């Protein structure tokens, strides 16, 4: 079974703090994704990576950066957390770059920024 | 306009009932279509892909209507365990990025 793990299930941070969210997948997948999920808005893509050290902006990259130094690990960074970044953050991975490949999700990190 | 739109529900149905709901997508060039299921406080998981000719997986039937740009999901003989949010997912950009609807919530009651 594919396993995608995220470093924390719940996280509380203060405005202005730097926040790191870590995601690890164990199936040698090429693609990794970071989404945020908010009520009524569904999942929105923040960033994705199709190879080590490669990244592309998704639909809402502002206020976020990412790092992929190893194939299995994809980190999301909030340089200076703000209250509007309070959300559920979901990491996902997929096998390759084929159109519509199944994405496997981690359990999510619920981030609260006070 | 959102790329993928769904009726949020909730659809409250008794056990054994049939429930069906649709999802519309905006890009006529979309190529791949899926239904994901998300249980309360859990991550989304693939339920089934949707093929042009329609397809079944046990009690679940998915249909695609390209002319009207919608996909549907029908659940027969509903079980309590079918209670979840169903996410409509479309590949709209001809690459590996997916667009997610906000989800349709189904609650099956005893």
The residues on A that touch B, with CB distances below 8 Å, are 31, 33, 35, 40-45, 48, 50, 58, 90, 94, 96-103, 105-108
pLDDT above 70 for A97: no
The pLDDT averaged over each successive group of 10 residues in chain B (110 residues) is 88 97 92 94 94 93 95 98 96 76 96
Distance CA B33, CA A95 (A): 17
Give the distance from residue A53's alpha carbon to the nearest chain B alpha carbon, in angstroms.
18
Q: What is the rounded distance in angstroms from the CA atom of residue B79 to the CA atom of residue B83?
A: 8
Predicted pLDDT of residue B29 = 85
The pLDDT, as a whole number, for residue B90 is 92
Kindly report, residue by residue over A41-95, the tens digit of the pLDDT: 889 999 999 889 899 999 999 999 999 999 999 999 999 999 999 999 999 999 8
Quick one: pLDDT at residue A25?
96
DSSP A103: P
Q: Which of A101, A73, A86, A74 is nearest to A36 (CA)?
A: A86
* pLDDT at site A37: 96
B10 to chain A: which residues are within 8 Å by CB?
none
User: Is the pLDDT assigned to residue A100 strictly greater than 70?
Assistant: no
CB-CB neighbors (< 8 A) of B7 in chain A: none
Q: What pLDDT score was predicted for residue A99?
A: 60
Q: Six-digit token pair at B86? A: 């169903």
Confidence at A104, pLDDT banded by 50, 70, 90: very high
Taking an 8 Å cut-off on Cβ atoms, the answer to whether B43 and A105 are in contact is yes
Cis omega before residue B93 (within 30°)? no
Task: Give the chain A residue nearest B9 (alpha carbons).
Answer: A40
Q: What is the pLDDT of residue A96?
A: 75
């Amino acid at each position: 079974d594919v396993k995608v793990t995220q470093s924390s299930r719940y996280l509380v941070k203060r405005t202005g703090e730097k926040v790191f969210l870590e995601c690890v997948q164990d199936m040698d997948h090429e693609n990794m994704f970071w989404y945020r999920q908010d009520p009524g808005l569904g999942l929105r893509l923040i960033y994705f990576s199709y190879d080590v050290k490669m990244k592309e902006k998704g639909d809402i990259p502002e206020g976020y950066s990412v790092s992929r130094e190893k194939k299995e690990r994809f980190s999301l960074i909030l340089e200076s957390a703000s209250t509007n970044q309070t959300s559920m953050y979901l990491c996902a991975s997929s096998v390759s770059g084929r159109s519509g490949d199944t994405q496997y999700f981690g359990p999510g990190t619920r981030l609260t920024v006070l | 306009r959102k790329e993928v739109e769904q009726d949020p529900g909730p659809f409250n149905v008794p056990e054994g009932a049939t429930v069906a709901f649709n999802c519309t997508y905006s890009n006529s060039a979309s190529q791949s279509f899926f239904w994901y299921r998300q249980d309360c406080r859990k991550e989304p998981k693939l339920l089934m892909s949707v093929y042009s000719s329609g397809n079944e997986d046990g009690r679940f039937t998915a249909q695609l209507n390209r002319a009207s740009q919608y996909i549907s999901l029908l659940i027969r003989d509903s079980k309590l365990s079918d209670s979840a949010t169903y996410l409509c997912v479309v590949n709209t950009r001809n690459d590996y990025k997916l667009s997610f609807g906000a989800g349709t919530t189904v609650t099956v009651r005893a």
